[in-house]
Structure formats: structure tokens, C-alpha cells
Amino acid sequence: MRLAIIGAVLLVAGAAAVAAGLLPWAEVGALVDRVAPIMLFVVAMTVVTELASEAGLFQWIARRLRRWGRGSSLLLWLLLALFATLSTIFLSLDTTAVLLTPVVVTVTRRAGLPVLPFALTTVWLANTASLLLPISNLTNLLAQHHLGGMSPAGFAALMWAPALAAILVPLAFIGVVFRRELRKKYARIPVGRIRPDATVSEQRDTSPVTDRVLLASTAVTLALLLPALVSGIPIWISALGAALALLAVFAVRRRSALSVWLVPWSLLLFTSGLFLVVEATRYLGAPALLGQLAGQGEGFFELLRLAATGVVGSNALNNLPAYLLLEPLAGTPLRTAALLIGVNAGPLITPWASLATLLWHDRLVKMNVLITWKGYALFGLMVVPLTVAAAVGALAVTGMTVGAGP
């Protein structure tokens, strides 16, 4: 509700800018042409992931991960980190924040392990692992359009090294800071009962799967969707096809799960208003003011300067408007990649820096997991400079070979 209210305010402000002539209708039309396919993709993928969760796919994977952990906290953590990374890369950072967080909390609680290192791993990787593919983050989709529709393979060729660095550095940080917690052992005997004090989310995430046909159909749909998303077919077409297929299966097997609330209305309202306001700000010349901070070159320090500007903008505003405001200053593929490092791997300090972080915290609150924003910010202030510097360094070393391409 709060997100929807903010979105409505932004939408009214943007409409006022258009009505006052501050933003021409031609610019609004160009904005709609650019973002409409992206928003359709976001809606379709949200429906897919919500129905996958309803089918029990994520919970099925979580139970297997607990078993594969073999009683080792460290091995379980690495497996959950791998799951969070793959979920972020192929299903987007918001999917990881929304659907994986309850699974992680439930698995760690039932294993008798501290939640904090696992919860931090989830939200950090939800942000930092979102560099590899266009589908991983809304900012990447905007950048793909900015780069003339670069193919997913070309995007990955440009971003693989900084993406790898942005994954490994936060993991190394957590591994060192929480080394004692990650040395613990847990019982490998599966828990067969739901605790009387378990929350609804916990009960849902640990209940046995009752419809194997629904689970199998969902798994097959995702197995077909993932390669389609990186095949070069417009991603909104692939995602929409998967969403329609799952809606058809659920209409037969579990009609009660189908609801208009599968569509992320609050997110759509918020994002639409944000796009409109930021477009008005861009048209009025805000990027020119930021150009002095972002630099112009493609050397390591110039790329780091642009990435750092993205970090500051993300944590001051939000990563999406930060990217939109700084995009005109990127220019080349290499500088666009540096900007993505700043706005994707940098939003780990303030709670509003990315929508994924807000969604993650909301899920934790609903499951009675208390993590203070002060503590979160302190950890972020330590890990962000290390992560961004390492990712920019990796980009500077490997990006020159692919950054010159279209």
C-alpha cells in the first residue's frame, strides 16, 4: 500500500509536469515505447514466479538444499548462495527477495542456525548478482535498450567478469565476518511437523507438496523459459508465453490460486510514476549537472568515478532513477557497464536504494526476523566499496575486448 501511494504521488507529479509543458508529449511517447515491453516482462515474470511458489517449486528446492547440506552450516550456506545467485540471474533480483527470503529463513530456523548471515547473503546477492543478464535487473533492461538492443550473449560477454567479482566479494565478506556461525552443524533428520508457533509463511514453505502434476508442470515451464530468455527472442514474449501456460495449468489444477493480485499493481504504479518524474527531470537538464561528478573517460579511475556516482545516487534516491539520470553520461558500452556496477552492486547501504531490499525486509518483518537498518547500513558501508572497486577492476581488465562492440 505504501509503495502504491508513493507511486500515485509520483504519477500525479509527472502528469503535472506534462500538463505544464515541462515534459513534451513526444518525450512521453518515446518513454512509453521504451518501457512498455519492460513492464510487460516484469508483470509476466511476477506471475510466473508467484505461481511457481504456489506450486511448491521453491520449497521443494529448499528441502533438497537442506538435505544436500549434510549437516554442515557452511555447505548449506554455499548451496543457498548458489540458489540465490541463479534465481537472481535468471528470474531477477525481486524474485530472489520476495520468494527466496521466506525459504531461507524457514530452512535456517528448522536447521537451528542463525538467520542473519543467510538473510544478508540473500539480499546482497539479489542486488550484486543482477549484473550478468538483461533479465536480472530492470536497470539492465534499460541499459540493453540504451546499447541498441545488445543480445543477451553480448551483454553477458561484457558483464561476466564484474558480475563474478560482485558475487564473490560479498560472499567472502560474509564468510569472514560470520565464520564462527558458518562452522556450526545441524541435525540432518527432516522435521515432519509444523511448530505450533510457526508463521503462515513458514507453514506454507515447509508443507509437503500435494499436487505433483502441478509441480512437474511448473518445473518444465521454467526449464523451457530459462533458455528462451537468453535466446535472443524478445524477453517479454518468452515471459508472457510462460505466464499464459502456467495460468492455463492452474486454471485446471488449482483455480483458487488465480487472482488479480498476481499482478504487481503497486510495483507498476510506483515504477510508472518514477519513470515519468525522472524523464521530466532528465528533460530539464539534470544529467548535465551530474556530468561533473561522473567523468568522461574509460580508464579504471574514470570508470570507478562513474560507478561511485551510481552508488551515491542509488543510496540517496533509488537505483532506478539513479540509472535513468546518469544514463546519458554513460555513452559507451564500457561506461554503461560501469554505471550498472554502481546502481546494481552499490544499493546495499540505505533501505530504499533498491526495491528488492525493501521487499526483502518486508518479508523478514512478517516472519519476525529483526534486522536493524543501522546494522544493515554499517555492513553495507564496508562491503560496497570493496565490491564496486573489484567489479570495476574486473571490467577494466576484461571489458576493453568487448566494450568496443555494438
The span from the CA of 339 to the CA of 296, in Å, is: 12
Which of 263-277, 286-300, 338-352 shows the lowest mean pLDDT across its residues? 286-300
The span from the CA of 20 to the CA of 288, in Å, is: 22
Q: Give me the percent of the chain exceeding a pLDDT of 90.
A: 37
In this prediction, residue 308 carries a pLDDT of: 93
361 C-beta neighbours (distance < 10 Å), count: 19
The span from the CA of 135 to the CA of 143, in Å, is: 11
In this prediction, residue 39 carries a pLDDT of: 84
pLDDT bracket for residue 400 (50, 70, 90): low
The span from the CA of 193 to the CA of 206, in Å, is: 9
Residues whose CB is less than 8 angstroms from the CB of residue 81 and which lie 6 or more positions away in sequence, other chains included: 121, 125, 171
Virtual CA dihedral for 82, 387, 117, 69, nearest 10 degrees?
20
In the predicted model, what is the mean pLDDT of residues 176-199?
66
Show the cell assigned to 134: 538483461
Q: Which residue has the higher pLDDT, 348 or 231?
A: 348
In the predicted model, what is the mean pLDDT of residues 122-134?
95
The span from the CA of 359 to the CA of 46, in Å, is: 13
In this prediction, residue 312 carries a pLDDT of: 92
Q: Can you give the length of the chain in residues? A: 406
pLDDT bracket for residue 67 (50, 70, 90): confident
Query: Among candidates 81, 55, 86, 25, which has minimal Cα distance to 280?
Result: 25
290 C-beta neighbours (distance < 10 Å), count: 18
Residues whose CB is less than 8 angstroms from the CB of residue 351 and which lie 6 or more positions away in sequence, other chains included: 357, 358, 361, 373, 376
Do 341 and 140 form a contact (C-beta atoms < 8 A)?
Answer: no
In the predicted model, what is the mean pLDDT of residues 314-340?
90
pTM for the whole structure: 0.80
Reply yes or no on whether the pLDDT at 321 is more than 50: yes
Show the cell assigned to 14: 509527472
Do 313 and 343 form a contact (C-beta atoms < 8 A)?
Answer: yes
Do 162 and 392 form a contact (C-beta atoms < 8 A)?
Answer: yes
The span from the CA of 227 to the CA of 224, in Å, is: 6
DSSP, residue by residue, 17-29: HHHTTSS-HHHHH
In this prediction, residue 333 carries a pLDDT of: 93
In this prediction, residue 209 carries a pLDDT of: 46
Domain boundaries, the chain: 2-187+196-403
Region for 254 from its dihedrals, namely left if φ exceeds 0, alpha if ψ lies in -120 to 50, beta otherwise: beta
Do 125 and 99 form a contact (C-beta atoms < 8 A)?
Answer: no
